[in-house]
Each structure stands twice: as C-alpha cells, then as structure tokens.
Amino acid sequence: MTYQEAIEQIYRSTKKLKEKGKPAAYIPELSQIDPSKFGVHICPLKEPPFGIGDYQTRFSIQSIAKVFSLSLAYKLKGEKIWERVGVEPSGTKFNSLVQLESDNGIPRNPFINAGALVIADILVSGLKNPKAELLEFVKSMSPSDNIAYSPVVEASEKSVGYRNVALCNFLKSLGNIDNQPEEVLDFYFTLCSLETDCLTLSSLFLPLANDGIAPHSNEKIIRTSYSKRINAIMQTCGFYDESGEFAFRVGLPGKSGVGGGIAAVHPDKYSIAVWSPGLNAKGNSYKGMKFLEEFTTLTELSIF
C-alpha cells in the first residue's frame, strides 16, 4: 500500500467520525474556525507528495511554531540553551505556573509556554530583528514561502494573554528572562500567530526527517545531532500532557497547536501535517490524533 492509498482510506473513515472536539474557545479568532475543516498532506523523502481535503487552506499553527523558534535558538546558541530550559515532560497543562518556583525558574521543556518564552528571550537577545529573521529562517526550510504572521490572530492572542504575561513576569522575577517582558511577549505572540497550510507545514518539517537537511535546497538547516534531539523532545513533550498517549498510539515525533494542526515526522521516511480545528480535552486535534494513529497502524511504520 502506498502512502497515498493509506491516506485516502483513513481520511474517508476519519472524516465520518462524529466530531467530539471543539475549536479553541479562549482565543477569540480561533473560536470562529469551521470545525468541519480537515486536511492532510505528506512529504515522503522517496515518493511523491500527496494531499487530501483542506490541505491548502491556511490556518494558525500556534504552538507548532515553537519547533521553529527552538531550532533557530539551538542553531544560534548550541547546548547552552539547556542551561535555561529542560527536556523533560511537564505532566501539567501547557500554560501552568505551578512548577516554575519549585524548579528555580527553569521550565521543564521548550514546548510548554514558559519554556517557549525562555526560547523567545534567547532569540530577542541574539537577533537584531527577531521577527523578520525567524520568518526568514522558517522559509529556508521549505520550497514554499506560503507562511506569514497574522496580525489579526496576534491581536486576538494579546487580548486574552494574561497567563502568558504572568508566566513571563514570573520567569523574569526568577532570573530566567534577560530582556524586558513586554519585548519578549510581543515576539512570542507574533511567533504563535504564524499561519500556513498543511502542504507547506509538512514540507517545513521535512528537514527534521532528513538529518537537518532541507531536500529542496540541500542546505544544512541545523546539525544532525540537533535535529535528532529536537525530534526526541517532540516525541516526549510535543503534545503537552498527552505526549505519552501520542507516543503510545502514534509512535512518531510531532508537535500540535491549538489551531488544530499537528505536524509529525518519521526520520528518514516522511513528514506529515494534519489539520482539524476540533480539539480534545487536552488541547490536541481530535481527528488529527485519530488519523495519525490509524495511519501508523495501517502502514506499520512508526519509530516504535
């Protein structure tokens, strides 16, 4: 069975499922998204790419963008970034404050909000124009430039971002934010407003399936060792407090976002992006999780 045949079969069966998820209601702009949207796109390393459904519809990738900010910070600072953020699953909600004080201001991993704020601070310190340079870096990972910040989503996030403001100020009080919290938060909210479609998103993750090399340009985006470690963190921490469940049922490194997107990679084989805005209780795409579980089961291809 080819990837295309598997995707077509599973897409049809998953699309018929009763929608149990709901769009992210706490971000006004995301709450208006049509929950029936559903798209899938795969970028194999040795087969033609394939997409189905709403795979060319743009959506807000939200926390999936944290993979890009982590990759750039890792490229800039190397192993020093792990002095300021850990690599362990948190076991708590993505916007939790409870562990920071007991952990002396070191977030458990770079994908929870506290960890992503520390990574944002590293980029604000290390780049002359963080927003423009991050976007340039992201675009270098794919042959498509169909990715951009959304001022509307950014404004919507800022309007309700009180907990992130609290997290950033708490981190500052604990000595793990170097810049002014307002500057870090501005960059962080912009980062989370990135928009693209499944077609582009799957191609953006392909370097992580290819030892850090972007196949379209043969450019070494990040070191092979960094790519492997980012995949490891995605495997253990990419789905917040549902990461163990995703590893158990899907068996791929991946990252979700509350916009309903999921990007995942099978090293040396493919990258895949799924979008369905209806979220489960843990904040991950309900149909996206179901689709990827069925996909790795049917193809019998996962890293476990």
Q: Is 74 a catalytic residue?
A: no
Q: Is 256 a catalytic residue?
A: no
237/180 Cα distance (integer angstroms): 27
45/215 Cα distance (integer angstroms): 8
Beta carbons within 10 angstroms of residue 288's beta carbon: 31
Chain position carrying tokens 């790795």: 296
Q: Which of 118, 124, 258, 274 is catalytic?
A: 258
Chain position carrying tokens 């209601």: 25
Q: Is 220 a catalytic residue?
A: no
Q: Which of 3, 55, 63, 265 is catalytic?
A: 63
Buried b (16+ CB within 10 A) or exposed e, 141-175: bbebebbebbeebbebbbeebeebeebbebbbeee
183/191 Cα distance (integer angstroms): 12
Dmax over CA atoms of the chain, in Å, equals 55
Q: At what angle do helices 66-77 and 130-139 cross, to 10 degrees?
A: 100
DSSP 8-state secondary structure symbol assigned to residue 242: G
Provide the 3-class DSSP secondary structure of residue 270. Answer: strand
Q: Is 118 a catalytic residue?
A: no
Chain position carrying tokens 């060792």: 225
Q: Is 188 a catalytic residue?
A: yes
12/178 Cα distance (integer angstroms): 49
**Residues ≥6 apart with Cβ < 8 Å to 195:** 58, 59, 60, 61, 147, 148, 149, 150, 153
Q: Which of 240, 250, 255, 270 is catalytic?
A: 240
Q: Which of 11, 55, 66, 96 is catalytic?
A: 66
- Give the pair of three-digit tokens for residue 8: 């077509």
Q: At what angle do helices 113-126 and 130-139 cross, to 10 degrees?
A: 100
Q: Which of 3, 55, 74, 188 is catalytic?
A: 188
Beta carbons within 10 angstroms of residue 183's beta carbon: 16
Catalytic residue numbers read 63, 66, 188, 240, 258
